[in-house]
Amino acid sequence: MSKKPLILGIESSCDETAASLITENELGLPVVLSNIISSQVEVHKKFGGVVPELAARSHIEKIDWIVKKAIDESGRKIEEIDGVASTAGPGLIVCLSVGLSFGKAFASAINKPFIAVNHLEGHALSPKLNSNLEFPYLLLLISGGHSQYLSVNNLDQYKRLGTTIDDALGEAFDKTAKLLGIEFPGGPKIEILAEKGDPKKYKLPKPIFNKGGCNLSFAGLKTAILKISKTIKSEQDKYDLAASFQNTIEEILYKKTRIAFTEFEKINSLNEKIFVVAGGVAANKKIRSMLINLCKENNYKNIFPPIEFCGDNAAMIAMVGLKKYKLNQFSNLDHPAIPRWPLDKSAIFLKGAGVKL
């Protein structure tokens, strides 16, 4: 039996420092040997959001031992590694540069190929880390940095059907939480407060609800919440505002996901309709159950990757690296960090997603 490639993946695009070793089995399915993730939540908490300079410093401090831990936990040796993959974008340039430089240096030191990976490609293929999912599938990625609907057709074959034109959904949750006096990242806490509130108490805007296909927009919501938050008098008002926000998001995602289903079906001939939801906001139980019901109504199979593969992680980066390694798609050592890098090249001129390649 031929030796299966062993790939080290490194992720540092935002506020998680992560490293993973991955190989594959005889069927060509990924085998995650280690998946180490170190979150910087504690570093950014008091600032109410990610501070790029602090994030970069924290990556610098942690990256050596995170990579070492990933190698140790994999049970394999440095000499066995066949290639190194690092996230090259999109993300915060000062953060990307840490993992990218580390990956390039590591690959050079062991004299093995280096592979630059698009972080979004990692998320897009992440459901394949633990399931033998067939292409194509529709992906909704809802995290602190991204909100988009993607038709995932194969490695390097993606069609972006919709994206946020301003804030990401996780960002909208965190900003709402901040206005209610909740610590960063407040998304999960909003969900808990919302359980005690009246979802119909405050009427909030639903930007581009009736236009823009399945594009999303959340910035107007934040402005409305800022105004209302100044009128809040009691804890109950707070719960009601959290519930109204949560309910508005559910209404937006219900409508936009239905549009995304139609668009996805228009461009693919499907034996099975599959809808994958990834990113931190996918942990929201009410959004989850709404999307599960929507899938039932529309004959979609619904997949939520496990939490360790759902948020930012290096296993997904290593997996993309492994696929590219097998195709000899290596990168030069002068590959730049690319802060804005949409997967779908035809989408690059859309508002809010510009990129210079």
# residues near Zn ion by CB under 5 A: 2
Number of alpha carbons in the 13 Å side-chain half-sphere of residue 48? 10
Instruction: Considering only residues 178 through 237, tell me which ones interact with ligand KG4, judged by CB under 6 A.
Output: 185, 187-188, 191
Nearer to ligand KG4, 143 or 247 (CB): 143
Retrieve residue 330's tokens: 């290596």
Question: Would you give the binding string for Zn ion spanning residues 99-128, x where CB under 5 A is met?
Answer: ------------------------------
CB-CB contact of 16 with 311 (8 Å): yes
Amino acid at 177: A
Distances (CA, A) of 55 to 45, 81, 122, 318: 12, 28, 21, 22
Helices 285-297 and 187-194 cross at an angle (nearest 10°) of 80
Among 312, 324, 338, 341, binds Zn ion (CB under 5 A): 312
Amino acid at 250: E
According to the binding rule CB under 5 A, does residue 15 interact with Zn ion? no
CB-CB contact of 321 with 84 (8 Å): yes
CB-CB contact of 242 with 180 (8 Å): yes
* Partner whose footprint covers residue 342, from Zn ion, ligand KG4, none (CB < 5 to 8 Å by kind): none
According to the binding rule CB under 6 A, does residue 11 interact with ligand KG4? no
Minimal distance, residue 285 CB to ligand KG4, in Å: 7
According to the binding rule CB under 6 A, does residue 103 interact with ligand KG4? no
Q: How far apart are CA 116 and CA 357, in angstroms?
A: 14
According to the binding rule CB under 6 A, does residue 144 interact with ligand KG4? yes
Nearer to ligand KG4, 80 or 308 (CB): 308
Judged by the rule CB under 5 A, the positions of this chain that interact with Zn ion are 143, 312
Which residues of this chain interact with ligand KG4, rule CB under 6 A? 14, 143-145, 170, 173-174, 185, 187-188, 191, 279-281, 283-284, 311-312
